[in-house]
Amino acid sequence: MESGGTMERKKIAIIGGGPAGYASAIRAAHLGAQVTLVEKDRVGGTCVNRGCIPTKSLISSVNIYNTVRGSHEFGISVSAVHVDFPKMMRRKERIIQKTRDSILKLLEANKVVLRNGCATLNGPNEGVIRSRGGSEKFDADYIILATGSKPKRLSNMNYDDPRILTTDEALELDQVPESMIVLGGGAVGVEFACIFAGLGVKVFIIEAENQLIPGEDRRIARFLLQELTGMGIEVLLGCTMEDAAESNSSGIRIVTGDGNEIEAERLLVCIGREPFTQELGIESLELKMTQKGVIRVDERMRTNTENIYAVGDVNGTAMLAHAASAQGIIAVENALGTEYTADYSVIPRCIYSNPEVASVGLNRDQARSAGRKARIGKSLFGGNGKALVMGNGGGLAQIVAEERTGKILGAQIIGPGASEMIAEMAVAVRNGLTAEDLGETIHPHPTLGEIVQEAARDAYGKSIYKLPW
């Protein structure tokens, strides 16, 4: 707004320095705002420090280990291979630090003021930051809450027992356990199960639902179950834990709902995450929240208090780092005058298991539930030259296309590189492309991308490599 012939810069305070927070801070700076970012711990949030980045570092190490172990298949003989777990963990820490340093450089380059401490709101435009050095007040035209989430904990668990872990503690282990029970067969539980099983740990997965990775396509889930079982992971579906875990001399013992007893050296609890809203002072502002403790927002990321926005895990809409970053940008754009709404129909979901799983849009069952008649196009990794030369022909891709128009409604992939390949499918779904649009687009050869092209061709009846049954 104009003031004395000059443009007054809007002041934006962002609480939380994870993907939602630092993305919104940088975008706000691009738009000319005066930005203060408050972070109580380390920039990068869960994603950089205790989630996406450290787990993928360990997964990369495990994949290298298993590739070397199987190098004889490629005509390479290796006399001895062993895991140096402390060194693997040190590498993880170096990568975390490099990622944090990159974020700090971006914030500094964009003149974002970073304050370390805990922020509490005293009103819709003001608050106080408390740190070891004392406290300081702040005020802002707009406040963006991006405080993230923390692992859910079961009330009947003794988390003071070092053998009972959340994902935070699992990433700080100093040695590989001999056995582990993973409670929860969702994306996070499956990823950790693959990490430790890949290191030779005997792993049990206990999942209360009758399907691994609940919410994902049933065929993809069945394929993943076969792969994990082949790795030696024991998966118990439709299974609950009857009571609190018991500690004994050999580790942790649990009793399942059907009376089975399982013992392991460690118990890893992966039952989801809950938003971090404590100590924010939001109760005094009467921000609307759901029964699950997440802050209600509209499609512009606004809370019921007009100048306060909530983005990322704290609003519970899509607990994914890439969704959080997008929401942060949406909030800033709206705060500074642009009409910008969220589109949740096209958010890729990736599980970095072995093999990877990725999906976007609707699967077959979801399309049916939405009343959309659909046809499915499929393609197997085993028929793809690039997958075969990589030594990994296990996997499949499927495309869900609307029967009448051929419009791509969604896609699901399981196999090597699935997390990279899904980006093309996200573009297709978001832009309303048809299976024929994708199938007739020439893809380079040999690439894994040809798998989705072939699945698209199969969806409209022009598959080249499908066998005539």
CA dist., res. 328 & res. 295, Å (int): 15
H or E element that contains 400: strand 396-402
* Terminal C-alpha separation, the chain: 69
Tell me the CA distances in angstroms from 255 to 37, 166, 206, 264, 426, one per residue in order.
Answer: 46, 19, 11, 12, 42
Please state whether 26 falls in left (phi above 0), alpha (psi between -120 and 50) or beta: alpha
Catalytic annotation on 445? yes
H or E element that contains 160: none
CA dist., res. 79 & res. 448, Å (int): 31
- Residue 463 · residue 436 · CB < 8 Å: no
In the numeric block, which tokens belong to residue 376? 């499915």
- Counting other chains too, the contacts that 171-176 makes at CB distance below 8 Å and 24 or more residues apart are 171/50, 171/54, 171/55, 171/58, 171/92, 173/85, 173/89, 174/85, 174/86, 174/89, 175/85, 175/86, 176/83, 176/85, 176/200, 176/201
Given the residues 30, 72, 82, 445, the one annotated as active site: 445
Q: List, in sequence order, every residue forming a beta bridge with 275; answer none if it has no partner.
A: 149
CA dist., res. 458 & res. 460, Å (int): 5
Give the phi and the psi of residue 139 in degrees, each rounded to 5: -135, 155
Q: How far is CA 428 from the centre of its chain?
A: 21
DSSP string, 205-225: EEESSSSSSTTS-HHHHHHHH
Tracing tokens 């296309």 back to the chain, one arrives at 401
In the numeric block, which tokens belong to residue 193? 């199960």
| Nearest C-alpha neighbor of 412 from the set 387, 431, 437, 429 | 429
Helix (H/G/I), strand (E/B), else coil: 69: helix
Please list, in sequence order, all residues whose beta carbon lies within 8 angstroms of the beta carbon of residue 197, skipping any fewer than 6 positions away.
Answer: 203, 228, 231, 232, 233
Provide the annotated active-site residues: 445
